[in-house]
Chains A and B, each alone.
Chain A
Amino acid sequence: GENVEQHPSTLSVQEGDSAVIKCTYSDSASNYFPWYKQELGKRPQLIIDIRSNVGEKKDQRIAVTLNKTAKHFSLHITETQPEDSAVYFCAAGGQFYFGTGTSLTVIP
């Protein structure tokens, strides 16, 4: 099955700085890569996704890049705000194999 690795496990940034979270996957057949944000005690919510026929996708302050050759994809958050503080999970594979999560803290 798919193996998804995610780094870093924790990330602290100053408000206004950028944050980057990286994931690698093992199954070259995977073609859909979502990112979920999970606030403390809440459900995971989809924030952005990318399909294998696209290299980059942006939605306001959030972007995702995909390198199919290297089998990695990254989440980029620019101009971070305190409300961006949460755990972020990447996923890949038809069964949604999740990464281990990145706890992002934005320091005001």
Chain B
Amino acid sequence: EPEVTQTPSHQVTQMGQEVILRCVPISNHLYFYWYRQILGQKVEFLVSFYNNEISEKSEIFDDQFSVERPDGSNFTLKIRSTKLEDSAMYFCASSETRGTNEKLFFGSGTQLSVL
């Protein structure tokens, strides 16, 4: 079965540094998402992306965050100046459609630790 892949699986960075988290969505999917999960808490929506632009974003997704689809396969999340509270598991997801059939397929996540 096709999978969403994410790299790296773990990322350790110093506060104030920039990080880029990478994702390869399932090839025929058109909608891409980033979520985060702070340890022991629920999964929180960050942003959705379709047709090379952000379609929706949450209040968490502030000016420190950006997303990009630099080529036909990768989907990236950039955090410009990391803060301690950015430490979390970041999940990429993709779906084939939106609306009544928006099944999400999650990647295995990137554990980000900000020191």
Enumerate chain A interface residues (CB-CB to B < 8 A): 31-32, 34, 36, 42-46, 49, 51-52, 89, 94-101
26 contacts between A and B (CB under 8 A): A31-B100, A32-B99, A32-B101, A34-B103, A36-B43, A43-B91, A43-B109, A44-B43, A44-B91, A44-B106, A46-B103, A49-B103, A52-B100, A89-B42, A89-B43, A94-B102, A95-B48, A95-B56, A95-B58, A96-B43, A96-B45, A96-B102, A98-B42, A98-B44, A101-B41, A101-B42
Question: With A43-B108, A95-B48, A95-B58 known to touch, is A100 a contact of B42 (CB < 8 Å)?
Answer: yes
A45–B42 CB distance below 8 A: no
Nearest-CB distance from A81 to chain B (Å)? 23
Enumerate chain B interface residues (CB-CB to A < 8 A): 33, 35, 41-45, 48, 56, 58, 91, 98-109
Nearest-CB distance from A47 to chain B (Å)? 11
CB neighbours (8 Å) of B103 from chain A are 34, 46, 49
Count of A-B contacts judged by CB separation below 8 Å: 50
A43–B106 CB distance below 8 A: yes
A51–B48 CB distance below 8 A: no
Separation of A97 and B58 alpha carbons in the complex (Å): 10
